[in-house]
Amino acid sequence: MVETLTSTSSPSSWWRRWWPPSHRRWIPTNTTFLSAHKALLAALWLAFFFTVFYWQRDAAGAGGLLIFRRAFPSRMLPKLRPVAFNLTDFGAVGDGITLNTAAFESAVLAISKLRKKGGGQLNVPPGYWLTAPFNLTSHMTLFLAEGAVILGIDDEKYWPLMPPLPSYGYGREHPGPRYGSLIHGQNLKDVVITGHNGTINGQGQTWWKKYRQKLLNHTRGPLVQIMWSTDILISNITLRDSPFWTLHPYDCKNVTIRTVTILAPIFEAPNTDGIDPDSCEDMVIEDCYISVGDDGIAIKSGWDQYGIAYARPSTNIRIRNLVVRSMVSAGVSIGSEMSGGVSNVTVENLHVWNSRRAIRIKTAPGRGGFVRHITYRNVTFDNVRVGIVIKTDYNEYADDGFDPKAVPILEDISYTSIHGEGVRVPVRIHGSDEIPVRNIAFHDMSVGITYKKKHIFQCSFVQGRVIGTIFPAPCDNLDRYDEQGHLIKRSISQNMSDIDYDF
């Protein structure tokens, strides 16, 4: 339709005063122009939505159309070893469909031959690299470029079976062998997993569904498990959707986990703990973001009589500068499998948000072991149901062979600079006659509460002290000291119990 050349006083006709008459016949009417404009905008919005939809699918796995996958700019990869290989050198194809297990295994074999020359580096370029589980080797750097995604195949027949962990007696969920991890290593030294925030994706959805339907005959495998190894660095990567525990260092020494993002759905992703240091010594976890379907971090050291016999404590562990979310369990836990003992742990600069619990110690008669010399400092609770938890009746056992007289020792635990808001129960310390909690300390605590009930600082069989003024008011089990350390009031009710699980 051609615009009629009549004068008008409408604001939209200003262009007629300067537009050449000879050109006006090419200008559409206002109605036609606006209709076409709206149609174009609608088409662009649909295209944008379609693109984002498939981009999001790619972010969670290898689904979606290849043409909608993001193209990542070429970025120079650092050379951290004397020799560096590219995964494609071994025939790998990053299309999310081709199984690349043989390529990973060939690359690791090539690097294993370089251990006397400083080892080697395996670069994983942008792409979707489907694989079954594979092992690492000593003096190796696994480097994931930006846009690189290692995808674990979700068919359990490709996952090898391994003997039970010696400190657990049998597979955590089923007697007998357990599935191995997607990325595995044993008896290694000097191993680095790092990158430009590439991703290791366990595609756990199938595993979780089969677990809930009781279709699995063996304990699910972790995403990354390093055992009996020293000098381990894991940094600058994303770990997501593990079938089971996400990152499991077992009986390792000198481990650093830094700037790692760990993700799983906050519901219906069972046992997807973020990081589980297990019988580890000299370990740092720092500058991480964790949002998972179980504990963000759970420090362990074996289960009941098997952990007692294995006798490897988790000790000298520092956790700092973390943001954690756990709607099912807790931000940072110790236990409940702590039969080898846990000691000398510092948790500081921790922010726990939108979670069921913030910091928790869990154990039970039969565990044995100890939890001692534990320091929590500068911890923030943000919309958390229960802030501080010590639970001594977590009655889940490896088998009927546990010794009920093997009771754990809980002592020397301090909480300093504890703050927050939106907390239902700031403190619930549930000691017992069998397992009392000894020498616990609170200093500089102020937590905003959502329920103004009397018993929101709950204690049972607890001995310890409060230094200065804290909010909410502490239980009567604790001695009171002023800021200078002078005793103000000694408790005569250490064995009193006001635990209330009804709110």
Distance CA 203, CA 206 (A): 7
The span from the CA of 451 to the CA of 457, in Å, is 11
Paired tokens of 179: 């599935």
Gap between the terminal Cα atoms of the chain: 71
CA distance 153 to 161: 15
Could you write out the DSSP letters of every residue in 122-181? EEE-SEEEEE--EE--SSEEEEE-TTEEEEE---GGGSPEEPPPTTTSS-SSSSS-EE--
Q: How far apart are CA 50 and CA 53, in angstroms?
A: 5
Token pair 């952990």: residue: 307
DSSP conformational letter for 87? G
Q: How far is residue 65 from each of residues 49, 53, 70, 128, measured CA to CA in Å? A: 14, 10, 11, 12
Residue 409 phi/psi, 5-degree rounding, is: -105, 125
Task: Let me know if 231 is a catalytic residue.
Answer: no
Q: Is the separation of the CB atoms in 269 and 241 below 8 Å?
A: yes
Q: Which 3 state secondary structure label does DSSP give 350?
A: strand
Q: What is the DSSP string of 12-49?
A: GGGGGGTS-HHHHTTSBPHHHHHHHHHHHHHHHHHHHH
d(CA 44, CA 456): 54
Residue type, 241: D
Among the options 294, 295, 382, 479, which is catalytic? 294
Phi-psi region of 89 (alpha: psi -120 to 50; beta: other; left: phi over 0): alpha
Distance CA(199)–CA(95), nearest Å, equals: 15
Give the span between the Cα atoms of 297 and 80, in whole angstroms.
29
Q: CB atoms < 10 A from the CB of 163, how many?
A: 10
Q: Give the span between the Cα atoms of 50 and 195, in whole angstroms.
A: 30
Record the tokens describing residue 155, joined without a space: 């068919």
Catalytic residues: 294
